[in-house]
Amino acid sequence: MLNFPNILTLSRIFAVPILVFLLWPNFDLLASQPLPIDYLLAFGLYCLMAITDYFDGYLARSQGTVSKLGIFLDPIADKIMVAAVVLMLIYTRDINGWHVIA
């Protein structure tokens, strides 16, 4: 059942490839890191995704539209979102892989 909170959750999942693209290094510019504007856009997108994470749960509970699909998708969307950022930061060597273990 697709309701507005579930659409917000799905939007987070569909925004992950855009987030990865923004964090991907620009090798054609001979830079091993993404450009600063890419980091800024990725940060803005990540904040927007975090806000939709808050509002999808809030709206589902307040409107009484909690669904099994939403209960299933919400934690998956959270994990995909965080894992994509952590993996890209390790790939671009912005953080060392050993820091993730902690």
Per residue in 2-16, pLDDT tens?
Answer: 899 999 999 999 999
pLDDT tens figures, 4-53: 999 999 999 999 999 999 888 876 555 566 778 888 999 999 999 999 99
Q: What size, in residues, is the chain? A: 102
Give yes or no for residue 90 having a pLDDT over 60: yes
CA angle 98, 100, 102 (to 5 degrees): 85
Where residue 30 falls (left for φ over 0; alpha for ψ -120 to 50; beta otherwise) is: left
Q: For residues 89 and 38, what is the distance between their CA atoms, to the nearest angstrom?
A: 13
Identify the residue whose tokens are 């993730």.
Answer: 100
Alpha carbons 45 and 50: distance in angstroms, whole number: 9
